[in-house]
Amino acid sequence: MTQVSDHGGGVRSLRVPIPDNPLGFTLVYVVDTDRGPVLIDTGWDDPASWDALVEGLTACGTSVAEIHGVVITHHHPDHHGLSAKVRDASGAWIAMHAADIAIVRRTRENRPERWFAYMAAKLAAAGAPEEHVAPLRSARDRPRALPGFSPALPDREIVPGELLALPGRRLRAIWTPGHTPGHVCLHLEEAHPARLTGNGRLFSGDHLLPRITPHIGLYEDPDDTTVTDPLGDYLDSLERVGRLGPAEVLPAHQHAFTDAPARVRELLAHHEERLTGLLGLLAEPLTAWQLAERMEWNRPWEQIPYGSRNIAVSEAEAHVRRLVKLGRAEAVTGSDPVTYVAV
Ligand SMILES: [Zn+2]
Ligand SMILES: [Zn+2]
C-alpha cells in the first residue's frame, strides 16, 4: 500500500518509490483545488512507481484521470518522470520554470554524439585523466547504444513571483535556482491548518531538505559560454526562502519540518565550512579534478563509481567558481588544464 499522509487543509503526500536509490521515495503532493486535484511533482518513471501513484490517488478518494494540473519543482527524473503518463491519463497541464524547460528541450533533442564530445572536452579541461575521458570518446562513436530518454515537454511556464492558476488556492512560485537553474519552491499563502505560527507552507522540492544537502550541478548549455555560478545562486535562493519564514516546509524527500530559517542557517554554515576547507586544499595549485579527488565525499574517491565522479567534479567546479567570484581563489595564468590557487 502506498503511504499517504494528510497534511491538512486539502494537502496530502504520497510516497512514490525511486528504484535502487538510497533516497527511497519522492513525496508527491496532492493539492485540492476547485477544478480537481493538482500534483506537485509526479515521481520516477517506473511501473512500480506508477502503481504507487495510482494507488495513492485512489486512497485519497480521487484518481489519476481527475488530475487538473501538474506543477514541477525541477526537471530531475525523480520529480518529472511520470508527468507524461499523468498527462496522457488525465489531460492535465504540466508547468515548469523556463530554465528547466530549456533543459528538457535539450534532452529531448537528443544529440548524444555532440553531448559526449562536449563532456569529454569539459572533463579534459577540468584535468580528468585520459582513462576517465576515453570511454566518452568511444561512446561518441556509437551513440545508438544509448538508452532513449524523452521527458515530457511542459505546456505551461511557471513565472517567478506569480500565483499559479489554481482555482480556489493561493500558490505562489518562488524561483530558487541552484540545484537546477529553473528550480522553484511553491509558497502556499494560506493559514497553516494546525495554526502553526509562520508564513504559510512551502513546497520546497529538493531546494530545502531536512537532512541532506542538495547537489549543486553545472547544467551548462554547450551553445552558451556564460560562466555560471550555481553555488552562488543556491546560497542566494536559500537566504530568500529563509526570509520567507514558512510555518512548515513540505519537501520532496524525507519528511515535513518546521523552522526553515534554522535549516537554512545550517546549510549556509555547511557550505561556508566546505568553501573554507577547499581554500585550505588550494594552498597548492589544483585542477578541478584534483580538487574533487581531495574533497570529502560519502566514500573514498577510489570507491566512487564513474558517473558519480563526473558529478563530483562538477560539484568541485561549482565551489571553485564561487571562490573565484568571491575573490578568494584565482586561476593560474597559462595553466592547461587550468589550475586554481587560493589568494
Ligand atoms: Zn533534484
Ligand atoms: Zn529529488
SS (HEC) of 164-211: CCCCCCCEEEEECCCCCCCCEEEEECCCCCCCCCCCCEEEEECCCCCC
pLDDT at 110: 66
> Distance from the CA of 94 to the center of ligand 1, in angstroms?
17
The CA distance from 337 to 121, in Å, is: 11
Class of domain 281-342: mainly alpha
Are 4-103+151-264 and 281-342 equal in CATH topology? Answer: no
Between the CA of residue 225 and those of 116, 244, 309, 327, what are the distances in Å? 17, 33, 23, 21
Cell of 244: 520567507
> Distance from the CA of 90 to the center of ligand 2, in angstroms?
24
The CA distance from 124 to 72, in Å, is: 34
> Distance from the CA of 96 to the center of ligand 2, in angstroms?
15
Average pLDDT, whole number, for the chain? 93
Residues that place a CB less than 5 A from ion ligand 1: 76, 206
pLDDT tier, 146 (very low <50, low <70, confident <90, very high otherwise): very low
pLDDT at 149: 66
A 10 A CB-CB count for 66 gives 15
> Distance from the CA of 12 to the center of ligand 2, in angstroms?
18
Question: What residue type is assigned to position 214 of the chain?
Answer: P
> Distance from the CA of 179 to the center of ligand 1, in angstroms?
7
Residue 238 backbone dihedrals phi, psi, to 5 degrees: -65, -45
Class of domain 4-103+151-264: alpha beta
Least confident of 175-184, 253-262, 308-317: 308-317
> Distance from the CA of 263 to the center of ligand 1, in angstroms?
18
> Distance from the CA of 76 to the center of ligand 2, in angstroms?
7
**Hey, where are the domains in the chain?**
4-103+151-264, 110-145, 281-342
What's the sign of the alpha-carbon dihedral 95, 96, 101, 107? negative
The CA distance from 246 to 166, in Å, is: 20
> Distance from the CA of 266 to the center of ligand 2, in angstroms?
20
> Distance from the CA of 75 to the center of ligand 2, in angstroms?
9
The CA distance from 184 to 140, in Å, is: 33
Sheet containing strand 171-175, edge to edge, reads: 171-175, 184-188, 201-205, 248-251
Asked whether residue 93 carries a pLDDT value surpassing 60, the answer given is: yes
The CA distance from 48 to 107, in Å, is: 24
> Distance from the CA of 76 to the center of ligand 1, in angstroms?
5
- Give the H/E segment covering residue 55: helix 47-59
Ligand nearest to the CA of 76: 1
Residue 139 backbone dihedrals phi, psi, to 5 degrees: -65, -35
> Distance from the CA of 251 to the center of ligand 1, in angstroms?
11
pLDDT tier, 147 (very low <50, low <70, confident <90, very high otherwise): very low
> Distance from the CA of 83 to the center of ligand 2, in angstroms?
14
Asked whether residue 143 carries a pLDDT value surpassing 70, the answer given is: no
